[in-house]
Amino acid sequence: MGDLVDFKDVFADVTRKAVKIPAKAYEPEGIYPIIDQGQNTIAGYSDSENGIYDDVPAIVFGDHTCAVKYVEEPFFIGADGTKVLKPLRSDDLRFLFHALRYYASRLPGEGEYTRHFKWLKECVFVIPDIDEQHRIANILDGIESQIVVAKQMLAKADELIQSRFVEMFDDPTVSSDKILGDVADIQTGATPLRSNAEYYDGRIPWVKTGEIDYSVIKDASEHISDKAVQETNCKLFPIGTILIAMYGQGNTRGKAGILGVEAATNQACAAVLLDAGICNPMFMLWQLKLKYEELRSMSLGGNQKNLSLGIVKSLSVSVPPLALQNEFAEFVTSVESLKSTTRQQLDRLTTLYASLTQRYFAQ
């Protein structure tokens, strides 16, 4: 079990000893990292040496975000909501890091934009003897290292696919340029009347733009009925249909996905039914991913810019020989299989980490 120790007897808040750098002064590169309360490990850099915090390692806590970071090199902190913590006892700091992250994830209002440090200071830590701390820290560090590797593998997999795409299709003599409307029938969906419950009492996936993110779409958060398809402007699109978000919040507009099941969509989605004798859907999905910024830049409107079917149809695309497209699609399929295995491993590791922290730190 271990001793129950109040936060105030475990950590000292030494934030006042660290120099705060405003966000506008962050540099993309530099000598010293800037650690803020965001989810990224490093928010930016500074070349200044004035006031660098060098009593490391230290733990940083995000007052608004509940993010917990272990920092091993001298650093500056972000201007708002960043707390720097140092141990008051001779405990294993990696053990305290994992414990703090566990308690932070269970604070009232976690996930909301509010101040959480006042609640963190009310926490009571379960602290065993130092040998047990070392043992627990080593176990959790090992799992965390595997989680980091799995995430890196997933990121590298997409980079590999992108590199393969450029390698195969960057030569302009390989492809002919066309507009998307010349190689596909482009349609859109509809929203059945919300007040008619029968329209939403079915099993047909009804895809909205927030569910489009450069992946194979196998289900949706909402479903509609056969009656909705029969009595409204909703259409049932086949497997292999490319969906493009014509409008949506944040970065959604311009994203694409591919249907892995028959599905309907709302009117904010463009459904691209490619000519199977000319284009491979997986090839086109990756081309659209590389053209994301170009497509977004074609949007029209004031504060809320949108795409339209006409704009989507007018997008210039490269169309290489179908055999090359198919070869690329097979490569993507093999990489996606590896990604699927890695995701399963990542899920198992994440579950194991959560289970062990519950065992070690719960009271």
- Scored b (16 or more CB within 10 A) or e, 303-331 reads eeeebbbebbbebebbbbeeeebeebbeb
Is a pLDDT exceeding 60 seen at residue 356? Answer: yes
Sheet holding 222-224, edge to edge: 222-224, 204-207, 264-265
The per-residue pLDDT for 250 is: 83
Residue whose tokens read 């509940």 = 66
Is a pLDDT exceeding 80 seen at residue 109? Answer: no
The per-residue pLDDT for 256 is: 98
What pLDDT band is residue 84 in, cutting at 50, 70 and 90? very high
In angstroms, rounded to a whole number, what is the distance separating the alpha carbons of residues 148 and 345?
12
Is a pLDDT exceeding 60 seen at residue 111? Answer: no
Residue-wise pLDDT for 259-316, tens only, equals 999 999 999 999 999 999 999 999 999 999 999 999 999 988 766 789 999 999 999 9
Residue-wise pLDDT for 183-195, tens only, equals 999 999 999 999 9
Is a pLDDT exceeding 80 seen at residue 79? Answer: no
User: Omega before 57 cis (within 30°)?
Assistant: yes
In angstroms, rounded to a whole number, what is the distance separating the alpha carbons of residues 301 and 8?
54
Do the Cβ atoms of 319 and 178 come closer than 8 Å? yes
Going by their DSSP bridges, the two strands 204-207 and 264-265 should be labelled as parallel
In angstroms, rounded to a whole number, what is the distance separating the alpha carbons of residues 123 and 129?
19
Which CA distances in Å does 58 have to 7, 98, 213?
Answer: 16, 13, 37
Which one is predicted more confidently, 49 or 112? 49
Residue-wise pLDDT for 302-326, tens only, equals 667 899 999 999 999 999 999 999 9
Environment class of 190 (CB within 10 Å of its CB; exposed 0-12, middle 13-18, buried 19+): middle
Q: Which residues pair with 21 in a beta bridge?
A: 78
In angstroms, rounded to a whole number, what is the distance separating the alpha carbons of residues 300 and 305?
5
CA end-to-end span of the chain, whole Å? 9
pTM across the whole model: 0.77
In angstroms, rounded to a whole number, what is the distance separating the alpha carbons of residues 143 and 259?
35
What pLDDT band is residue 232 in, cutting at 50, 70 and 90? very high
Which CA distances in Å does 101 have to 69, 104, 295?
Answer: 8, 5, 40
H or E element that contains 5:
strand 3-6
